[in-house]
């Protein structure tokens, strides 16, 4: 441990869980919290994680893959500690896993329900339910839908997650989040649905009313099972493209937001959990509505999208919502620039977002499989370096 790092550790006065909660409450913590892999949009490719462990001189063994679709790694405690990470993924380990060798030296621990096989035109395929996933030769993740690889019903999955949540809560001081995302009442990946916002708004409202009743019941089950041991629950709704929101803000406000608010109000009224929302893209015009709905945390803060300048976001909304992400541009910087340039970029982003609390450091979405390990180290070390500023 360097003298600077040792001095920094002595300055830490909060546990990781306390640090993150203080930040979300818009109080100034002892340092800026850091995340790597708590959520399935804040993580790291299993390929990149293998390379990172080799680069750090840490033991490399089959990498546990909790997210088969994106081939994300479960980040081990030794790496969490090395980079001063304050958050931990809540995902029970697979029963009866098997080892898959996609190519080269890589070995991944996969669930029994995911059996990749060679595709007719090369690459790999997985069939699970209606999902038909494909990864091309030298690819880093699967495409073609989202498969649920837990071998059991919703109750069994919730029970297994609750046991893991209690273990994390009692045996560590990490902040953690329930990952089974609540729907954001907006299907912006469906062109027909987007058209119906304008042509059949009553149909959209009725559809969302019915879904909201189901989600309220589900929220009750989540609170009962995990409310004592989990600090946040997640919404997932990609509302933006690279250029702008996927629909008019007024349409979202009238047809979708009331149902988001109902869920947020229910969670806040019946538990101490925060509400974490993942939404990619250029969504600045929607942020005031999300705040009014009761969203506490916004991720991934895609600073590479139009109208998502960090200074403007922090100035306009930094005291009203916690930004979780935006610390490193994964489209144009993390895999494209030198380690020195990555570090400089992160220090500036952390300086802007980290001022005054209300910010958890993370890169914009997941670290892809082709990112050099030295750039990952530069990013996370720079984040910790600036976390006391």
- Of 179, 246, 217, nearest to 38 by C-alpha is 179
| Longest alpha-carbon distance in the chain | 64
Strands (E), the chain: 63-64, 98-100, 108-110, 117-118, 124-128, 131-135, 177-183, 232-236, 274-278, 297-299, 322-324, 359-360
The b-or-e profile of 239-251 (16+ CB within 10 A means b, else e) is: bbeeebbbbebeb
59, 49 in Cβ contact below 8 A?
no
CATH topology of domain 3-58+82-95+152-386: TIM Barrel (3.20.20)
Q: Which residues of the chain have pLDDT under 70?
A: 1-10, 389
Under 8 Å CB-to-CB from 89, ≥6 apart: which residues? 37, 38, 39, 43, 66, 74, 75, 176, 179
- Of 366, 388, 277, 298, nearest to 36 by C-alpha is 366
User: Cα(71)–Cα(343) distance, rounded to whole angstroms?
Assistant: 26
User: Cα(374)–Cα(389) distance, rounded to whole angstroms?
Assistant: 23
Residue 297 half-sphere exposure, CB side, CA atoms within 13 Å?
Answer: 29
Instruction: Please state the domain extents for the chain.
Output: 3-58+82-95+152-386
DSSP 184: -
* Site of tokens 């790291």: 44
Whole-prediction pTM value? Answer: 0.95
What confidence score (pLDDT) does residue 9 get? Answer: 64
What confidence score (pLDDT) does residue 4 get? Answer: 52
User: Cα(328)–Cα(113) distance, rounded to whole angstroms?
Assistant: 34
What confidence score (pLDDT) does residue 7 get? Answer: 54
User: Cα(82)–Cα(317) distance, rounded to whole angstroms?
Assistant: 32
3-state helix, strand, coil split of the chain in percent (to 5) is 40, 15, 45
Residues 362-380 pLDDT 10s? 999 999 999 999 999 999 9
């Amino acid at each position: 441990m360097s003298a600077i790092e040792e001095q920094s550790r002595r300055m830490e006065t909060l546990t990781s869980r306390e640090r993150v909660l203080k930040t979300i409450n818009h109080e100034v913590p002892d340092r800026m919290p850091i995340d790597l892999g708590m959520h399935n949009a804040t993580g790291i490719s299993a390929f990149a994680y293998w390379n990172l462990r080799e680069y750090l001189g840490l033991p490399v063994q089959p990498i546990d893959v909790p997210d088969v679709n994106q081939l994300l790694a479960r980040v081990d405690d030794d790496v969490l500690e090395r980079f001063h990470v304050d958050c931990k993924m809540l995902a029970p380990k697979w029963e009866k896993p098997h080892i898959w060798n996609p190519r080269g030296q890589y070995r991944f621990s996969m669930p029994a329900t995911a059996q990749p096989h060679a595709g007719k035109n090369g690459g790999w395929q997985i069939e699970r339910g209606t999902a038909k996933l494909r990864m091309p030769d030298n690819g880093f993740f699967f495409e073609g839908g989202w498969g649920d690889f837990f071998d059991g019903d919703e109750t069994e999955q919730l029970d297994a997650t609750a046991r893991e949540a209690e273990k994390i809560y009692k045996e560590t001081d990490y902040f953690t989040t329930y990952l089974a995302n609540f729907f954001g009442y907006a299907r912006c990946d469906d062109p027909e649905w987007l058209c119906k916002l304008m042509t059949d708004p009553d149909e959209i409202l009725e559809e969302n009313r019915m879904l909201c009743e189901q989600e309220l019941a589900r929220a009750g089950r989540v609170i009962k099972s995990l409310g004592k041991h989990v600090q946040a629950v997640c919404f997932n709704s990609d509302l933006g493209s690279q250029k702008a929101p996927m629909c008019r803000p007024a349409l979202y406000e009238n047809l979708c937001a009331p149902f988001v608010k109902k869920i947020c109000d229910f969670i806040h009224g019946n538990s101490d959990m925060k509400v974490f929302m993942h939404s990619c893209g250029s969504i600045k015009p929607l942020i005031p509505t999300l705040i009014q709905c009761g969203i506490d945390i916004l991720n991934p803060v895609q600073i590479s999208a139009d109208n998502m300048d960090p200074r403007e976001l922090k100035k306009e909304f930094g005291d009203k919502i916690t930004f979780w992400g935006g610390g490193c541009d994964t489209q144009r910087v993390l895999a494209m620039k030198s380690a020195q340039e990555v570090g400089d970029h992160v220090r500036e982003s952390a300086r802007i977002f980290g001022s005054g609390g209300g910010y958890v450091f993370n890169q914009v979405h997941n670290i892809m499989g082709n990112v050099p390990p030295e750039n990952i180290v530069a990013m996370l070390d720079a984040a910790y370096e600036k976390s006391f500023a």
